[in-house]
Structure 1
Amino acid sequence: MKKYKVAFIGTGSRSATYAKAYAEHQDEIDVVALCDASAENIRVMAKRTALPKIFAEYSDYRQVLDKHPDLDGVVVSTPNYLHRETAMPFIERGIPVALEKPMTTTMADGEAILEAAKRYNSRLLIGFVLRSTPFYSKVYELLSGGAVGRIVAIEADELAGYGETSTINRRLWRRYSKFSGGALMEKSSHDLDLMSWFIGSRPISVNSFGGSLVFNPNPLLPEKCAGCPMKDCVYGKLPPDNTDCIYNAQKDVVDNQCVNISYANGTIVSFIMCFNTTGEKAGRNLHVIGQKGRLWGNHGDGEIFVFDNLKKETVSYKTKVDGSGHGGGDSNHALELLKMMKNPEYRPAQDAYAGYLSGALCIASDISRVEGRRLNLRYGANDYISFE
């Protein structure tokens, strides 16, 4: 049996989810290179994922290209603003690439990757792991099978917990929009991708509102958690990888945002992203209204309900979670790269255009939020998008 040689560019927490999946498929995959500017990141990921120590270590992705001309696949999980730079050389070499979401943080970078993907007929997987979860896969199956008839409207939300809130507001590059693309791009590009996937039509206009109502500077609090008078603050008790005060940390990301989208087929979407949430029905919620009925559920619960208007009956569907993260999506998603390596003709649905479209929705939403106006999406040559 052929063993496929895979390299990792970036060894943070997202890369670790791929590595864990590949560690369970050592009969088919050899991880031959780990690359990160931080040697400590490499050490931590290798320890967390129990990868066999057959990999070489590098600090620059160009070294991987030079030393491993026979790579079969690569996982690129660098900071968002570096995705174009670090993924493009592998795309141009025709190597199957699993690129973390968001695909890019700007329209220009997205179009550059689209062009390269077409030119080199690339096998490119964008990190929309939610499509691979048992929950959302079942939702898609039900909706595409006509369970609620034509989709009229979708209400959805992402209510992020304390850990995710801490990450977006305190960690390194994520708290700065110029590096992460903004909170919506970093956290909820998943969700906007799902909306377009379920609806199967082009988004044509966006209107968005939001800001920061919770995590604003407080002169009564210190810059660091140590010695803080807010003894009941949950953020001071989280693992001490960042001890900056979550209120006073330098940042420009929002902590709440509402996005309204209209699609060419008439379907409308209302999506809310909020941080600092916990308790029952936190996480991700979905409510689809169709001509024949409704579908709803909470991703964390894993149960989907479908109400039939004529029968006046509700049927429930329970989905199983394998514990790999993202509601069971991480492992399934990681193995999409294996499919691409095995089959030169295989192209996943989470492709470059899906990444481009979700990114465009996030960018348009943030422009709308800042400028206080509705944006129309116009599709030109090659389906490239401009805003009016």
Structure 2
Amino acid sequence: MGQNSSQDSKMTCPVRVIVVGAGCRGEIYSQYASIHPERAKVVGVADPRKFARTKLQEQHKIEDENIFEDWHSMVEREKFADAVLICTPDRLHKEPAMAFAKKGYHVLLEKPMATTAEDCTAIVEACTQSGVMLSVGHVLRYDPVIHKIKELIDAGVIGDVIHIQHLEPVGFYHFAHSFVRGSWRNEAESSFALLAKSCHDIDLIHHWAGARRCVKVSSFGSLSHFTKINKPTGAADRCLDCSVERDCPYSARKIYMDRVKQGHTGWPVSVICPNSFPDIESVTEALRNGPYGRCVYECDNDVCSNQVVNMEFEGGVTAAFSMVAFTEEICQRKTTISGSKGELSCNGHEVRVFDFLTERATKHTADKNTPKQFGMIGHGGADYYLMDAFISAVANNDPSLIRSGPEETLHSHLLVFEAERSRLESRVVYPGDTSHS
């Protein structure tokens, strides 16, 4: 996809982009402009943290007058770019998304869209009424291997879709980093785990089910293991002071300090030192005084570590989704789709189709020409393809290039909220059917 879309817009000027939220996601997405300066140029940044915004300013040679501590000051300016990348914390998505849309900026909004169904709906309405494009950061939609699944389904290679089984293995230290010690640990401060982590996956299932509406959903889940009752005898409140830390797989010393000693300064180490480059000194300081040095059994975390969601779509298509923290693999999704003529399975690297008539299996791969800057930072390089599609859509004024557009993304988000309602209320929820409420 990247190659063709690059050629499509070679005759136009680079798309001018501003970044609201210069953290991990903002920095990753804006790297696209460094790789393709002829296609995109970062011309402004807003972030309350001086280190983060200065880092982005230096990377993209942004003029001083376009550097802002607060996005409000940025949006009050006369429109000076074509598009905005909104990569603020989850609870701070709605206000800037609506404000920039109303100002006429095309919007790439990091997932989840917002933390309530009402706010998600309001964002879509604002973008639609303003006539601007909205792309939500469901990067897996743009992963060439995962996109191959949809192509094969649409080509009819497994006949009618009957059942979808999908697993997200979060990864033992990833969960400890992000959902026990980190920014997504506490629902009141961010959002519930199914929305923060797995709206990707519910979106994919919704996508694979086609135009069918989900008619029933049920969900179960809880916070397991990472609670005070499971704190080992003799453990301290911080890993650097702990006498039993060596025997703990979730030790902050093991997850962060050992990586820095091996020369690894990317994720997750980069996250714990937001105001400096991660080295032994800054990491030690962060673990001694910051949230990432806390014992995993002494945090204020309350989000689910394991959850299942069962769905029934129109026509009797069923789907089962599992999210679990305690896995070796990190976010390497596994999918099996059962059809009337065959079975499709994907391990994240390739797609295998077994044909019931011939009883033969065929393997399908997808070309990935991902620049190494994107290939090393998760999502299998899909961040690159998301940005490529968004920049192409803006350059060519063609919203059809966006695979995660407003209406379908809103529907999949609403399904996530219904699934969580099922978990909290311990009952089957019938989306859109008020007679069962």
Q: TM-score, normalised by structure 2?
A: 0.81
RMSD, matched Cα: 2.1
1:267 corresponds to which letter in structure 2?
Answer: V
Give the share of equivalent positions with the same residue, in percent.
29
1:1-388 alignment, distance < 5 Å: 1-45=12-56, 50-54=59-63, 56-67=66-77, 69-200=79-210, 201-217=212-228, 218-219=230-231, 220=233, 221-228=235-242, 229-235=244-250, 236=252, 237-239=254-256, 241=272, 242-279=292-329, 283-299=332-348, 302-321=349-368, 322=370, 323=372, 324=374, 325-347=378-400, 348-378=402-432, 388=437
The residue type paired with residue 327 of structure 1 is G
Contact 1:130 1:136 in 2 (8 A): yes
Deviating above 4 A after TM superposition, structure 1's stretches of 4 or more consecutive aligned residues are 44-47
Secondary structure (helix, strand or coil) at the match of 1:210 reads strand
Cα separation, partners in 2 of 1:179 and 1:204, compared to 1, 3 Å = farther
SS of the residue 1:98 aligns to: strand
Which residue identity is paired with 1:318? T
Structure 1 position 24, deviation (Å): 0.8
Paired amino acid for 1:140: K
Structure showing the higher strand proportion among its residues? 1
SS of match in other structure, 2:315? coil
Q: Distance in 1 between matches of 2:190 and 2:406?
A: 18
Q: Which amino acid aligns with 1:319?
A: A
Aligned residues: 378
| Greater C-alpha radius of gyration | 2
For residues 47 and 299 of structure 2, the distance between their equivalents in structure 1, rounded to whole angstroms, comes to 26
1:5-56 Cα distance to aligned partner (Å, 9 max, x none): 2100011111122111121111232211111121222245567xx4334463
In structure 1, the residue corresponding to 2:131 is in which secondary structure?
coil
C-alpha contact (below 8 Å) 2:352/2:362 kept by paired residues: yes
How much does 1:313 deviate? 0.3
Higher relative helix content? 2
Rounded to whole Å, the distance in 2 between the matches of 1:161 and 1:42 is 30
Structure 1 counterpart of 2:217, which letter? V
